[in-house]
Amino acid sequence: MTNNMEAKFVMEHEVAKILDHHEYAAVATVENQKPRLRRMPKYNKGLSIYLVADRKSQTWDPESKTPVSLLVGHEESGSQEAVEIDGSLTLHTEEVLRRQIWREEFGASFSGPDDPDYVILQVKAVRIEYTDKDGQKHEWFDY
């Protein structure tokens, strides 16, 4: 294994740890030519990232890949560890995943995992920037 491959593996592991530690992400999109930032529930399996959205929210375009930026981590408690991800959102329709991601707290907005307004958006990353606990930034593209 080369040093570059080892470094990438270590960064992927550290990014996945941060993603696993946080249930929400700050999510930025553009709507009507204006930036929009919101906090959204997040689910991940390693570096496969999914967001929970309301079909009525206008957060995304189901017909195309909607550009998105995510920020996860960077706690007010002093930790500098954070992950920034640029990519696109696409509608994910796998029924098993919808049920796996469902949490009781979503019941305030949706009737259940079968609610047609409960949608899962998959994040396809094109750039990931990881800030480690010492504030050092590590970046890679086309993940």
Which 8-state DSSP code applies to residue 65?
-
Q: If we measure between CA atoms, which residue out of 61, 16, 65, 72 comes closest to residue 39?
A: 72
* Average pLDDT over every residue of 55-71: 81
Highest mean pLDDT among 11-15, 17-21, 58-62: 17-21
Tell me: the pLDDT tens digits for 88-111?
A: 999 988 899 999 999 999 999 999
Between residues 86 and 58, which one has the greater pLDDT? 86
Burial class (CB in 10 A: 0-12, 13-18, 19+), 87: buried
- For residue 133, is pLDDT > 80? yes
Which 8-state DSSP code applies to residue 56?
G
- Token pair for 129: 């920037």
**Model-wide pTM > 0.95:** no
Residue that the structure tokens 């995304």 belong to: 60
* Average pLDDT over every residue of 52-80: 80
